[in-house]
Amino acid sequence: MKVHYRSYGFKLGRVSFLVFCILIIFGLAVQSQTLEKLKADLDNLSAKQGYAKDTVYLNKANDLGFMLAESNPDSAFVFLDKQILMCREANFKKGESEALKIYGNALQNKGDFVNSLEYYKNALSIAESIPDDSLIPGILNNIGLVYFNLGNYAEALGNFFEAIKGAENTRNLNVEAAALNNIAMIYFEQGKLEEAKSKYLEMLAIYSELGNQGRMILAYNNIGDVALKQNKPLEALENLKIAHTSSLALQSPEFIEMTARTMADIYVALDSMDKAEYLYRQSIAIAKEKGYGVPYSHSLIGLAELFYRKGSYQEALVYADEGLEQANKMGQVMQQRNAHELLAKINEKENDYSEALNNFKLFKQYNDSINNAQGQRLAATLESEFEFSKKTLEFEKASLRQRWLIFSAFIGLFTFLVILFIVFRNRNKLDKAYQILKGKNLEIENKNEKLENALDQLKSTQLQLIHSEKMASLGELTAGIAHEIQNPLNFVNNFSEVSSEMIVEIEQERAKSQEARDETLVSEILEDIKQNLTKINHHGNRAGSIVKGMLEHSRTTTGEKVLTDINALADEYLRLSYHGLRAKDKNFNADFKTDFDPNLPKVNVVAQDISRVILNLINNAFQACSTPQPPRNIGTGSEGGESHIPTVSVKTTATKSPSGDLGVQISISDNGPGIPDAIKDKIFQPFFTTKPTGQGTGLGLSLSYDIVKAHGGEIRLDSEEGKGSKFLINIPAY
């Protein structure tokens, strides 16, 4: 640990510094021993067969992850990534939720509030899905703490109070006390000091009952902070001496840093600048080494405030800028506010009034965002109030000068009447301003109502367009089926007619005398009739399968996945698409090719949904390649060109992921004009279409994309303008 140290000739001199360093080193050694013990316990458990699915092992691993997150967040991330995976493989939901929460703790300790919130929400989602609700209060408390650090007090308070309710139901005193502490912090920031102190005392009583020395240190520290804010530095110092002494005895770098920082604030208030600087530097050293983002920023700004009070403005500016940089990295609103307020004062002392004004505006902005519970919805109103207050201030100054002149010229009753007149006029202006603001609010509410109505209409239109897209797809499919089913029906009719003629021949032969009858001919005709009946049965079954496929496609999907032969599905819908387009347009002419992998595994999919994807892509491919195109030159030295033959190719391939998971790839390509680079990124967007007006809704590819994603797969485009397009669909087998 590197501690910035200078000798200032006061009681906390070199000896105290050495003692401090020894205690820190000893504390790290104790903590190291605890970590080593946990690691040894894990090694013993890992000797068991199947240890990775043992909940005892996974709980121990979470304990180790918690200690790493609190003591050295950077070292915790890799460990927790593996821990989360093991919990998932063991289907240990409670352990997974706890590991995600601990990961969020490590991120929050680093000052990465946005990502920590994501991990907390994932942990909460899992905790709510299991019967045991004991994890929920702690996660809600941590989510509230993130919102507190981001300056969103309304959201933070909501989570803290929910955490207290849950903690009372589950009798979790630790979480209840922690939530009380966090609510008190918000009261403290809002200036409700007595309310804050009351919550801190409740928290101290709970931790005293539990015998939790570390959290008792936190309570004494925060009670001292309130006393300092109430301008009672001596009372604050008494509480901090208890907290600091206990933190040294506990050998906790986290609490040593915290109490050193708060004592430094107190010594600044007592004008003991040397002691304060020494403690600030201790806090900065620990926070920097351990990666405590918020304390690091707090102490840097505190040290800058100290130098400002000493008149060392350049040094103050350096530390204030460094503290602001750290606060900006974290998005920590309170420290951003404090830094800009201090920078404004330093700039003013340095006669840099322009920069001072900029920093003051930023201070005001952050301060308002902290104390304004309504947030951005009242931004316009606040701006109007701000402009109005400036005009009111200017008016009041003018009125003051006017009253002074009148008072100088007149005395007594006349002066009193002028004052009454001014008050009356100000009151009228305030009433008018209030009416204007009220009208603006009504106007905003009306606009919001119109926007909500427009959104409802848009959603309704979207549903209608989706229905139209499905009906259009069904219509094209029906035409293809009608054409496809005609082939087996023709065979059935032809073979039936031929068989009838053969039966007539048999009857004629039977009518002859025994001597003239040719029994060999009769047998041959009967054999032919038998073969014809076999073919009639075959083509009848073919027609039945087509009808069955149509019914399955048109039936509303249940979402149930079944093992499906993709080769058969692709072949069937390729032919249905082809015949559907032929039935729709007699001038349509195209060719198609297939290359199906004979070893393709069956995949677990919703067959109706995947068939819609295949049908939509094949329809698009036929329509694209049948677009009239100029001849394409081939060979070398040829002056002529080869006529364009519209061709659609469908190919299937078995795939295997790097992790060994099986899957299939469906390739649908055409030799059409291709897709321009300018619109490649838009083709999967809803309502985007390149078809003429009235011929497409722009939802086909969007729905196809959603269906493939819902199956855990991906769909991508490989197209070169002038050479055709290829869509690749990858779907996992299970």
Same domain? For 584 and 718 the reply is yes
User: Domain for residue 176, yes or no?
Assistant: no
User: Domain for residue 635, yes or no?
Assistant: no
For residue 451, count other CB atoms closer than 10 A to its CB: 10
Reply yes or no on whether the pLDDT at 651 is more than 90: yes
Alpha helices in 372-412 (DSSP H): 379-409
CATH code, domain carrying 586: 3.30.565.10
How far apart (Å, rounded) are the C-alpha atoms in residues 677 and 665?
Answer: 24
Task: Give the lowest-confidence range in 260-269, 375-384, 476-485, 656-665.
Answer: 375-384
Domain count, the chain: 3
Q: What number is the average pLDDT over the span 78-90?
A: 87
User: Domain for residue 513, yes or no?
Assistant: yes
How far apart (Å, rounded) are the C-alpha atoms in residues 121 and 111?
Answer: 17
Distance of CA 143 to the CA centre of its chain: 15
Q: What number is the average pLDDT over the span 439-466?
A: 79
* Secondary structure (DSSP) of 465-532: HHHHHHHHHHHHHHHHHHHHHHHHHHHHHHHHHHHHHHHHHHHHHHTS-TTT--HHHHHHHHHHHHHH
Same domain? For 692 and 713 the reply is yes
Amino acid at 718: D
CATH code, domain carrying 111: 1.25.40.10
Task: Give the lowest-confidence range in 161-170, 192-201, 285-294, 396-405.
Answer: 396-405
Secondary structure of 162-201 in HEC code, one letter for each residue:
HHHHHHHHHCCHHHHHHHHHHHHHHHHHCCCHHHHHHHHH
pTM across the whole model: 0.41
User: Domain for residue 675, yes or no?
Assistant: yes
Domain boundary among 529, 554, 579: 554
Reply yes or no on whether the pLDDT at 667 is more than 90: yes
> What contacts 127, CB < 8 A, 6 or more positions away?
94, 97, 133, 135, 136, 139
Same domain? For 589 and 702 the reply is yes
Listed ranges 340-349, 375-384, 629-638; the one with the highest mean pLDDT: 340-349
User: Domain for residue 649, yes or no?
Assistant: yes
What is the structure's pLDDT at 5?
28
What is the structure's pLDDT at 708?
92
Domain boundary among 505, 536, 554: 554
Same domain? For 680 and 578 the reply is yes
What is the structure's pLDDT at 23?
37
What is the structure's pLDDT at 540?
83
Q: Is the dihedral of CA 487, 489, 491, 493 positive or negative?
A: negative
Q: Is the dihedral of CA 583, 584, 590, 591 positive or negative?
A: negative
Query: Do the beta carbons of residue 203 and residue 181 sit within 8 Å?
Result: yes
Same domain? For 542 and 568 the reply is no
User: Domain for residue 423, yes or no?
Assistant: no
User: Domain for residue 234, yes or no?
Assistant: no
Percent residues over pLDDT 70 in the chain: 78
What is the structure's pLDDT at 168?
86
Token pair listed for 32: 């190291």
Which helix (H) or strand (E) segment is 716 a member of?
Answer: strand 714-720
Edge-first strand listing for the sheet containing 724-732: 591-595, 647-656, 662-670, 724-732, 714-720
How far apart (Å, rounded) are the C-alpha atoms in residues 456 and 598?
Answer: 50
Q: Angle, nearest 10°, between helix axes 519-554 and 413-510?
A: 170
Query: Do the beta carbons of residue 634 and residue 671 sit within 8 Å?
Result: no
How far apart (Å, rounded) are the C-alpha atoms in residues 180 and 215?
Answer: 12
Same domain? For 494 and 578 the reply is no
Q: Is the dihedral of CA 655, 657, 661, 664 positive or negative?
A: negative
Reply yes or no on whether the pLDDT at 548 is more than 80: no
Same domain? For 601 and 676 the reply is yes
What is the structure's pLDDT at 389?
37
Reply yes or no on whether the pLDDT at 390 is more than 60: no
Q: What number is the average pLDDT over the span 51-79?
A: 78
Reply yes or no on whether the pLDDT at 2 is more than 80: no
Same domain? For 690 and 713 the reply is yes
Same domain? For 550 and 566 the reply is no
Same domain? For 576 and 684 the reply is yes
What is the structure's pLDDT at 10?
29
Listed residue (202, 232, 233) closest to 219, CA to CA: 202
User: Domain for residue 188, yes or no?
Assistant: no
Same domain? For 525 and 577 the reply is no
Token pair listed for 53: 């699915």
Three-class secondary structure of residue 596 per DSSP: coil
Same domain? For 545 and 601 the reply is no
- Identify any residues that bridge with 572 across adjacent strands, giving them in sequence order: none
Domain carrying residue 45: 32-131
| Cα distances (angstroms) measured from residue 457 to each of 1, 476, 504 | 63, 29, 69
What is the structure's pLDDT at 406?
73
Q: Annotate 148-159 with b (16+ C-beta within 10 A) or e (fewer).
A: bbbbbbebbbeb
Give the Cα-Cα-Cα angle 591, 597, 601 (nearest 5 degrees): 130
Domain boundary among 78, 110, 131: 131
Residue 732: pLDDT band (50, 70, 90) is very high
Listed residue (24, 22, 13, 6) closest to 256, CA to CA: 24
Query: Do the beta carbons of residue 177 and residue 206 sit within 8 Å?
Result: yes
| Cα distances (angstroms) measured from residue 414 to each of 119, 398, 404, 420 | 70, 19, 13, 10
Longest Cα separation, the chain: 157
